[in-house]
Amino acid sequence: MAEGVPRRWRAQSRDALLAYFERALEARDGRAGAECLHELWLRGEMGLNIERGLARLWAATAGDVPDWLPMRHVEWLPTAYEVAARCRARRRGRSNLYLVLLDYHDAAGDPYGVYVGMTDYSPQQRFDQHKAGIRAAGSVLRRGLELLTGPVRHLQGIARGEAERIEAELAEALRAAGLRVQGGH
């Protein structure tokens, strides 16, 4: 499910994960804490518990939290992993797929949506361009909160033609899974 993101805690019980998480916080080990929290998230842990865990993790280890861990709870993140994992590139290249979490708290329905894009820049550079108004998609400029790098880590450094195909397929598959999707041209 979580292609490209460590799942070394997969076989552990919830109680064991919570204990490992506490030890990671004590040791100020952001990577281990992120992996524990991520595993709980993918198992469907309550959103309030994830939000509290994220706040504690950032407070204890802010400089050491990996970029693939989102900064806020998104209920459909496990679905995004499952859908993205079905997308495969056959050729390597310079293009990258990226997802941006969109804020829809001012609209009916799910408070979050996702933008699907592809770029020859790093996903972070492209997100920064969107937010600066450079060749920006309006949805990312106005509603973009953060990159969701975890689900598409395996779709980095692929051939442009593959990226174009996968961008459209991924957007359509996420829509079919019930997510509010922008982009995916």
With CA atoms as reference, report the closest residue to 35 among 8, 75, 74.
8
For residues 130 and 98, what is the distance between their CA atoms, to the nearest angstrom?
12
Number of H helices, E strands in the chain: 7, 5
Q: What is the pLDDT of residues 24-81, one digit of tens each?
A: 999 999 999 999 999 998 888 999 999 999 999 999 987 788 888 898 889 999 999 9
pLDDT at 159 over 80: yes
Provide the token pair at 184.
């995916």
Whole-number pLDDT of residue 6: 65
Contacts of 43 (CB under 8 A, 6+ apart): 14
Look up the pTM and report it.
0.86
